[in-house]
Chains A and B, each alone.
Chain A
Amino acid sequence: MADEALFLLLHNEMVAGVYKSAEQGEVENGRCITKLENMGFRVGQGLIERFTKDTARFKDELDIMKFICKDFWTTVFKKQIDNLRTNHQGIYVLQDNKFRLLTQMSAGKQYLEHASKYLAFTCGLIRGGLSNLGIKSIVTAEVSSMPACKFQVMIQKL
């Protein structure tokens, strides 16, 4: 991944840009999250292709999730996921206690309502990565207090 600061700045501007274009009426207001998520999806597809180029073939679903939590997260956000939980029936919860894209905002509950904007891209990133590895999923994010957040990955069985 290129310089960390550049990624953070670019991401902030991207969110701001998408919401600004919504204000000017170019994008429908409720579509902003979807748009950011779709951008993340495409980026995730590309990134996973590059990251998995030199790794061995994955054994199963859990192996892939571990890869996302460790290697993928480290390359993009410079740290690993702090906690990965699963019910072994297709639901995974990835918990990050200090999520990189939220660390610039004041901790606590003040800006909680704005947090979802800054998580949409990452949700797409996970979904895109998994989809390129052959796993269809729905990814949602939730924040209870910044900068910790949880990503819930629901695998869609075929």
Chain B
Amino acid sequence: MAVCIAVIAKENYPLYIRSTPMENELKFHYMVHTSLDVVDEKISAMGKALVDQRELYLGLLYPTEDYKVYGYVTNSKVKFVMVVDSSNTALRDNEIRSMFRKLHNSYTDVMCNPFYNPGDRIQSRVFDNMVTSMMIQVC
């Protein structure tokens, strides 16, 4: 179960960010913001890697005491960042990966919507519902 999910545009401004309401929202914004440096670092290191290592999922970006931050970057350089509770040890890498895939699919649908302007904040209800389902789903 994720506690915060963010979509960040290629120019590094947020397109969408949601966190669980019961906790300090600013803390998560700060966490996502700091993670962008790690994302950049991982991407530039990946340029030299072999083809099969150049996947979109970046894996664990960094752990903190209470949370783990995972990253994913699409080919269009849009970043997805997910913060999960580190007490939730049942959540495996593969599950995180499939959650990102779902997020990516949903984002693609938003992009292909002719009424959406690329670069605007995401206000799609379908996308919103999908994120909600990922945040409450108990893995």
- List residues of chain B with CB under 8 Å of any chain A CB: 10, 43, 46-47, 51-52, 54-56, 73-77, 104-105, 107-108, 111-112, 114, 118
Nearest chain A residue, comparing its CB with the CB of B48:
A59
State the interface size on chain A (CB cutoff 8 A): 18
Nearest chain A residue, comparing its CB with the CB of B104:
A53
Given contacts A49-B74, A133-B76, A134-B76, A56 and B105 within 8 Å (CB-CB): no
Contacts of B51 in A (CB 8 A): 56
Contact of A52 among B74, B105, B107, B114 (CB under 8 A): B74
Contacts of A133 in B (CB 8 A): 75-77
Interface pair A58/B118, CB less than 8 Å apart: no
Interface pair B112/A55, CB less than 8 Å apart: no
* Residues from 63 to 112 in A contacting B, C-beta threshold 8 Å: none
- List residues of chain A with CB under 8 Å of any chain B CB: 42, 45-50, 52-53, 55-60, 132-134
Interface pair A134/B56, CB less than 8 Å apart: no
Given contacts A42-B114, A56-B55, A132-B118, A48 and B76 within 8 Å (CB-CB): yes
In the assembled complex, the Cα of A134 lies from the Cα of B43 at a distance in Å of 14
Other contacts beyond A50-B111, A53-B108, A133-B77: 14, CB < 8 A? A45-B111, A46-B112, A46-B114, A48-B75, A48-B76, A49-B76, A49-B108, A49-B112, A50-B108, A52-B74, A56-B51, A56-B55, A59-B54, A134-B77
Nearest chain B residue, comparing its CB with the CB of A45:
B118
Select the residue from A48, A50, A57 with max chain B CB neighbours within 10 A: A57
Interface pair B75/A55, CB less than 8 Å apart: yes
Nearest chain A residue, comparing its CB with the CB of B119:
A45
In the assembled complex, the Cα of A132 lies from the Cα of B105 at a distance in Å of 16
Contacts of A57 in B (CB 8 A): 43, 46, 54-56, 73, 75
Nearest chain B residue, comparing its CB with the CB of A59:
B47
Top 10 A-B pairs, shortest CB-CB distance: A52-B75, A57-B54, A46-B112, A49-B111, A56-B54, A132-B76, A49-B108, A50-B108, A46-B111, A134-B77
Interface pair A53/B112, CB less than 8 Å apart: no
Contacts of A56 in B (CB 8 A): 51-52, 54-56
Contacts of B118 in A (CB 8 A): 42, 45, 132
